[in-house]
């Protein structure tokens, strides 16, 4: 029997005292209204949770490349189909250091999203706000074990895991095989002397031998950091205090600036790269004016989209260094973080993060982006096992290893300070030694400010 919220006695009491003429009408109306209300209550879905998500455009259905946009549109649709009580509402924000300031401002105003895509280098700084949620109670140790341990360590502070890494990228040199062959090289110049010989050959043919980004951005920093670590430098000590301007680390950083300046002085690289990031370098590579371009594996799909004939003709090599030091690839990349603190919204946010990072779902996203996996299961998927560039990339990583970004709140300030010196070093307005001093002064001021909060 369907119960409408009243017992039979209550029903009888409501009927007493009505006139015959009105009793049937009123009873019918009351019965109809009660029945409809009961049916609605029984069939209406619970109020949907609308999850707010902030992301740079390339990780959303608004991505510039159709394959990326379609992949995220499909991801959101399949997630909502699997979780009918949750809806994703995404907002596009900048994808560079400006985004970090955006998050810090929003934290101060208590206006953060439920879910955010965060560069790994920001995690330690955002954790100091107290708004980024630790995920230990949601991301089980069993599932964390499926991710590269260093990637998990990179986002773990004082035992608290704050975000879920979903990729990394290799900053290296991309070249065209036919261009290299035209300069008399069957293999990429692996040693410093061979690299200088290659650079002379390129210069003799009127080509830029190499182009590194020199713009004051993360692109510049990540190439520099790979070299700096390869030369034996350290960014911070065990307490997170900046030490790059001391002892051997200072020598390593000066060598990095000196190497960039040497490339310009010898005519192997134009000083104009001081205004360019990786994106701005690519047209010179496309036109053949530049024989080697410093890029990220994340740019490979964009390169193929811009120049389809390049597929099968690209090679990749690590940064050459004086003394044949081996550059150390940087383990970084983007991560999923949760700011939602209420139990219902936090659980809903985690459902999305868990769904997005399942190997079957994340593997497709890694492929369309050209990202390197941080999950072993994805490395075993066909693309990463068989694509020639992915095979070459994996060889570099296995040979030289990867080093994770430090879990230090001061890192973003170091990245900004280093990269902002590069344009003046390239132009000769600042010496490498002076650049290190300038970066030290800038970072120390920020470190004191953070430490005194």
Is residue 150 located within the same domain as residue 287? no
Q: How many CB atoms lie within 10 A of CB 344?
A: 10
Range of the structural domain that residue 311 is part of: 171-329+406-451
For residues 172-205, one letter each, b for 16 or more C-beta atoms within 10 angstroms of the residue's C-beta and e for the rest, the string is bbbbbeebbeebebeebbeeeeebbebbebbbee
Mean pLDDT value across residues 194-202? 98
Is residue 225 located within the same domain as residue 320? yes
Number of domains in the chain: 2
- Asked whether the beta carbons of 300 and 388 are under 8 A apart, the reply is no
The residue written with tokens 């300069």 in the block is: 183
Residues facing 295 on adjacent strands = 172
Is residue 413 located within the same domain as residue 382? no
Split at pLDDT 50, 70, 90, the class of 47 is low
> How confident is the model over 377-392, as pLDDT tens digits?
999 999 999 999 999 9
Is 410 among the domain residues? yes
- Asked whether the beta carbons of 383 and 367 are under 8 A apart, the reply is yes
Q: Which of 388, 404, 420 is the last residue of a domain?
A: 404
Q: Check pLDDT > 50 for residue 31.
A: no
Q: Which CATH number fits the domain that encloses residue 95?
A: 3.40.190.10
Integer Cα distance of 381 and 77 in angstroms: 23
Q: Check pLDDT > 50 for residue 374.
A: yes
Task: Identify which of 127, 135, 87 has the alpha carbon closest to the alpha carbon of residue 103.
Answer: 127
Q: What is the dihedral of CA 145, 149, 152, 156, to 10 degrees?
A: 110
Is residue 400 located within the same domain as residue 311? no
Split at pLDDT 50, 70, 90, the class of 360 is very high
The residue written with tokens 């497709």 in the block is: 364
Integer Cα distance of 410 and 404 in angstroms: 15
Task: Name the least confident of 20-29, 50-59, 193-202, 404-413.
Answer: 20-29
Q: How many CB atoms lie within 10 A of CB 420?
A: 18
Is residue 70 located within the same domain as residue 157? yes
Is 231 among the domain residues? yes
- Asked whether the beta carbons of 331 and 402 are under 8 A apart, the reply is yes
Split at pLDDT 50, 70, 90, the class of 48 is confident
Please give the model's pTM, rounded to 2 decimal places. 0.85
Q: Which of 369, 389, 404 is the last residue of a domain?
A: 404
Is 181 among the domain residues? yes
Is residue 317 located within the same domain as residue 429? yes
**325: Cα within 13 Å, side-chain hemisphere:** 18
Mean pLDDT value across residues 333-358? 96
Tokens standing for residue 172: 């290296």
Give the phi and the psi of residue 290 in degrees, each rounded to 5. Answer: -120, 125
Is 392 among the domain residues? yes
> How confident is the model over 219-256, as pLDDT tens digits?
999 999 999 999 999 999 999 999 999 999 999 999 99
pLDDT at res. 94: 81
Task: Identify which of 224, 274, 277 has the alpha carbon closest to the alpha carbon of residue 253.
Answer: 224
Integer Cα distance of 130 and 138 in angstroms: 18
């Amino acid at each position: 029997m369907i119960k409408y919220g009243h017992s039979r006695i209550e029903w009888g009491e409501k009927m007493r005292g009505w006139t015959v003429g009105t009793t049937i009408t009123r009873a019918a109306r009351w019965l109809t209204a009660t029945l409809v209300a009961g049916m609605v209550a029984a069939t209406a879905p619970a109020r949907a949770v609308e999850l707010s998500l902030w992301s740079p455009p390339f990780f959303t259905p608004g991505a510039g490349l159709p394959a990326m946009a379609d992949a995220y549109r499909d991801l959101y649709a399949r997630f909502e189909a699997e979780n009918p009580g949750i809806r994703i509402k995404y907002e596009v924000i900048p994808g560079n250091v400006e985004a970090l300031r955006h998050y810090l401002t929003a934290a101060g105003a208590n206006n953060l999203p439920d879910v955010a895509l965060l560069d790994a280098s920001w995690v330690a700084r955002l954790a100091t706000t107290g708004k980024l949620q630790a995920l230990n109670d949601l991301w089980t140790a069993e599932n964390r074990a499926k991710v590269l341990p260093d990637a998990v360590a990179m986002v773990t502070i004082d035992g608290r895991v704050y975000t879920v890494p979903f990729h990394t990228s290799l900053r290296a040199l991309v070249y065209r095989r036919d261009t290299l062959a035209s300069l008399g090289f069957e293999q990429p110049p692996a040693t410093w002397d061979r690299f200088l010989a290659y650079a002379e050959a390129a210069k003799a043919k009127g080509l830029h031998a190499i182009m590194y980004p020199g713009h004051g951005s993360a692109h510049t920093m990540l190439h520099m950091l790979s070299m700096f670590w390869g030369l034996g430098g350290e960014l911070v000590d065990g307490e997170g205090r900046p030490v790059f301007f001391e002892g051997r680390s200072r020598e390593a950083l000066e060598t990095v600036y000196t190497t960039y300046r040497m490339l310009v002085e010898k005519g192997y690289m134009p000083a104009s790269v001081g205004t360019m990031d990786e994106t701005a370098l690519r047209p010179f590579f496309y036109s053949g004016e530049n024989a080697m371009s410093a890029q990220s594996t994340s740019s490979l799909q964009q390169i193929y989209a811009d120049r389809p004939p390049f597929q099968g003709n690209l090679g990749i090599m690590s940064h050459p260094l004086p003394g044949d030091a081996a550059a150390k690839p940087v383990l970084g990349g983007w991560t999923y973080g949760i700011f939602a603190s209420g139990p219902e919204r936090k659980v809903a946010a985690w459902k999305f993060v868990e769904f997005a990072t399942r190997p079957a779902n994340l593997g497709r996203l890694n492929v369309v982006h050209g990202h390197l996996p941080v999950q072993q299961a994805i490395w075993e998927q066909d693309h990463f096992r068989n694509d020639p560039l992915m095979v070459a990339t994996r060889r570099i990583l296995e040979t030289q290893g990867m080093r994770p970004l430090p879990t230090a709140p001061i890192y973003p300030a170091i990245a900004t300070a280093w990269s902002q010196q590069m344009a003046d070093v390239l132009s000769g307005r600042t010496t490498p030694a002076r650049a290190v001093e300038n970066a030290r002064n800038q970072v120390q001021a920020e470190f004191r400010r953070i430490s005194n909060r």
